[in-house]
């Protein structure tokens, strides 16, 4: 039985898989989608997505973008 996770976790896992498969442009787009989700959640006053604080999600995504040199 698979563990049910939310949209941000699904995109996060997809981006990590894309990086592992050297699909860097696709990973960048996926991580940009994560940032959009986080921006909308922040604007809506949400503090937690998929049982993780928004600030932690933001840190994870920005660090991965920087680490893999995916920033434009």
Whether 5 has a pLDDT exceeding 90, the answer reads no
What's 3's DSSP letter? P
Sorted by where each begins, the domain ranges of the chain are 7-67
pLDDT, position 31: 97
pLDDT band of 3, cuts 50, 70, 90: low
* DSSP-derived secondary structure for 23-63: -HHHHHHHHHHHHHHHHHHHHTT--EETTEEHHHHHHHHHH
Burial of 44 (0-12, 13-18, 19+ CB in 10 A): exposed
pLDDT digits (tens, 9 = 90+) for 11-54: 999 999 999 999 999 999 999 999 999 999 999 999 999 999 99
pLDDT, position 72: 79
């Amino acid at each position: 039985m698979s563990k049910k996770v939310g949209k941000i976790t699904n995109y996060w896992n997809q981006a990590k898989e894309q990086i592992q498969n050297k699909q860097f442009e696709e990973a960048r787009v996926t991580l940009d989608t994560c940032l959009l989700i986080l921006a909308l959640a922040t604007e809506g006053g949400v503090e937690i997505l998929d049982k993780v604080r928004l600030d932690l999600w933001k840190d994870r995504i920005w660090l991965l973008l920087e680490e893999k040199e995916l920033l434009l």
